[in-house]
Structure 1
Amino acid sequence: MGDLEIYRPEGVRLQKVLAQAGVGSRRKCEDLIEAGKVTVNGEVVDQLGVRINPDECVIKVDGKRVSVDTHLITVVLNKPKGVVSTMSDPEGRPSLQQYVTEYEERLFHVGRLDADTTGVLLLTNDGDLANKLAHPTHGVSKVYVAKVRGRVNKGIGTTLRQGLELDDGPVRAAECRIIDATDDHSLVEVVMHEGRNRIVRRMFDAVGHPVIDLVRTKFGPVGLGTLQAGEQRRLSNTEVGLLQQEAGL
């Protein structure tokens, strides 16, 4: 351990910062530090008693960033069908506001899902994180499971990965796999790195398999887990740290 400028004698002990961030108990955090698994601004800290100002530091455990700002929150919602991805709707349609009333903070959604698409939708008051996650240059992965009309053939994965030309430009899936196929319908999992309007539905329209139902199962490292439609939960600081890392923060 070197002499980093961010060490502050009046600061907070590193193990306390980690424990408050949800990494584990104080004792577990001390063990992680002594094992050399914690870095502060890129330097390994392997001694107990180090004090820091969390606002000045990027802290990682096993290479994964840990979020320590308690004023910023991020929520994952399993968006139900028929709910529009806005915080209010002038037409009176069900909106996202009803799912975040327990939070005093003013949250806003990261990207959108169309009204008929269900699944993972992130809401946050962290503007930097939201902008990075939504920006296509960072290529944060989004996983969808589509129920489509008809039996898809094995070549559909190659077609979607190689790319299609839509009316607003080319698009391609990062990954694609067939989960199940019958004569009536098929289930296909698709991984996308962009989020243009109704992009997954338009891709399947273009290959002759219109979408019947569509659910987003993951946004970056955040999945649905056991959340039922309409349920939400606040992400742990460790999960937020993973999102920050994937967004390039």
Structure 2
Amino acid sequence: MSTDHGDRPVTGVRLQKVLAGAGVASRRVIEQYIVEGRIRVNGAVVTELGTRIDPEHDLVDVDGTAVQLDAGKRYVMLNKPTGVVSSMKDERGRPDLRRFTREWPERLYNVGRLDADTSGLLLLTNDGDLAHVLAHPSFGVTKVYIAKVDGRVSPQTIAALTRGITLEDGPIAADKARLRDSSHGSSLVELTLHSGRNRIVRRMMAAVGHPVTELVRRQFGPLRLGTLPSGHARELGKIELGALLTLARRDSPAEATPGEAREKTRDHGQHDDQENG
């Protein structure tokens, strides 16, 4: 980051030009934001209109919300149907994610996985840095699932899920759990978890005596599935993307360096073998 000072040579692009190009607002409005101290570059508030940045390396946020300066980055929400594996190319020939990405020219990859029998929200992107952070074991992005299970789930069972139970790979507790419905010999349970352990929802419910018959992920971090139909995909809106980038930048683990992420971009559908459903 640099600022203009007399005739000395400067580098970079003016901040207001970069943010206008990113669709934040007009240059005039952005200049007002700068004067008001509403914009930070690499965590530092900037108030000089001559501020220049390197869009490829500097991180910018407006009113505390991160901004993506690279127009080549794509972020897509998919409502994955059951029967589809979370891979861009399945070696066993099973239905994979490629059919849902054909309308975008970029080569997209899934962030984490849902097992074939689990439906719901899956994030697809070509942003290797973001994907590596979100898939990193220490990140623990919050996910919300709705599970249809056998039997009538009691309040005591809901309490046990939040208090904690012990599985074969150690103790686990839901961040939140609530019973949404119980009728005709089955129940709907909503679980909020930040664990990325393999098939964790199914194993937790089986451990308390209520095997899962259907499972859908409704939320991934700040992203909500909403009314997106099964088998459909859409790009994230500006507010959704800002919230996701802000979360990732704030809580990025030290190990998830940009260089490391770029090297691993093409493997996001494969290196994270945790099937969160």
- 2:2 maps to which of 6, 13, 28: 6
Instruction: String of CA shifts for 1:158-201, please: whole Å, max 9, x gaps.
Output: 21122222122222211112222225222221111122221101
How far apart, CA to CA, are the structure 1 residues paired with 2:36 and 2:159?
45
The DSSP-based 3-state class of the residue aligned with 1:138 is coil
How far apart, CA to CA, are the structure 2 residues paired with 1:44 and 1:27?
18
Report the residue type matching 1:32 in the other structure. Y
Q: Which residue of structure 1 aligns with residue 230 of structure 2?
A: 229
How far apart, CA to CA, are the structure 2 residues paired with 1:166 and 1:123?
31
Q: Which residue of structure 1 aligns with residue 111 of structure 2?
A: 110
Confirm whether residue 69 of structure 1 aligns to residue 65 of structure 2.
no
Q: Does the 8 Å contact 1:78/1:224 carry over to 2? A: yes
How far apart, CA to CA, are the structure 2 residues paired with 1:26 and 1:79?
39
How far apart, CA to CA, are the structure 2 residues paired with 1:116 and 1:231?
17
Instruction: String of CA shifts for 1:143-170, please: whole Å, max 9, x gaps.
Output: 1111222221122332112222212222
Shift of 1:97: 0.6
How far apart, CA to CA, are the structure 2 residues paired with 1:48 and 1:135?
37
How far apart, CA to CA, are the structure 2 residues paired with 1:86 and 1:135?
18
Q: Which residue of structure 2 aligns with residue 141 of structure 1?
A: 142
Q: Does the 8 Å contact 1:164/1:171 carry over to 2? A: yes
Q: Which residue of structure 2 aligns with residue 178 of structure 1?
A: 179
Q: Does the 8 Å contact 2:2/2:11 carry over to 1? A: no
Report the residue type matching 1:74 in the other structure. Y
Q: Which residue of structure 2 aligns with residue 91 of structure 1?
A: 92
How far apart, CA to CA, are the structure 2 residues paired with 1:238 and 1:54?
20
Q: Which residue of structure 2 aligns with residue 128 of structure 1?
A: 129
Scaled by the length of structure 1, the TM-score of the pair is: 0.87
How far apart, CA to CA, are the structure 1 residues paired with 2:184 and 2:92?
39
How far apart, CA to CA, are the structure 2 residues paired with 1:173 and 1:102?
37
Q: Which residue of structure 2 aligns with residue 208 of structure 1?
A: 209
5+ unaligned residues in a row in structure 2: which ranges?
Answer: 5-9, 253-277
Instruction: String of CA shifts for 1:187-240, please: whole Å, max 9, x gaps.
Output: 221111122221101111111111121111111111113321111122246534
- 93-102 or 127-136: bigger deviation: 127-136
Q: Which residue of structure 1 aligns with residue 55 of structure 2?
A: 54
Shift of 1:73: 2.1
- Measured on the aligned residues, the alpha-carbon RMSD in Å equals 2.3
Give % identity: 54
Q: Which residue of structure 2 aligns with residue 243 of structure 1?
A: 244
Q: Does the 8 Å contact 2:3/2:48 carry over to 1? A: no
How far apart, CA to CA, are the structure 2 residues paired with 1:194 and 1:70?
32
Report the residue type matching 2:13 in the other structure. V
How far apart, CA to CA, are the structure 1 residues paired with 2:181 and 2:123?
28
The DSSP-based 3-state class of the residue aligned with 1:148 is strand
Report the residue type matching 1:65 in the other structure. A
Q: Relative to total residues, which structure has the larger strand share, 1 or 2?
A: 1
How far apart, CA to CA, are the structure 1 residues paired with 2:183 and 2:106?
46
Shift of 1:88: 1.7
The DSSP-based 3-state class of the residue aligned with 1:201 is helix
Q: Which residue of structure 2 aligns with residue 43 of structure 1?
A: 44
Instruction: String of CA shifts for 1:26-76, please: whole Å, max 9, x gaps.
Output: 455444334332111222234545332222321112212112122332221
5+ unaligned residues in a row in structure 1: which ranges?
Answer: none
The DSSP-based 3-state class of the residue aligned with 2:37 is coil
Q: What is the aligned residue count?
A: 245
Shift of 1:104: 2.5
How far apart, CA to CA, are the structure 2 residues paired with 1:28 and 1:188?
47
Q: Does the 8 Å contact 1:38/1:45 carry over to 2? A: yes
Q: Which residue of structure 2 aligns with residue 190 of structure 1?
A: 191
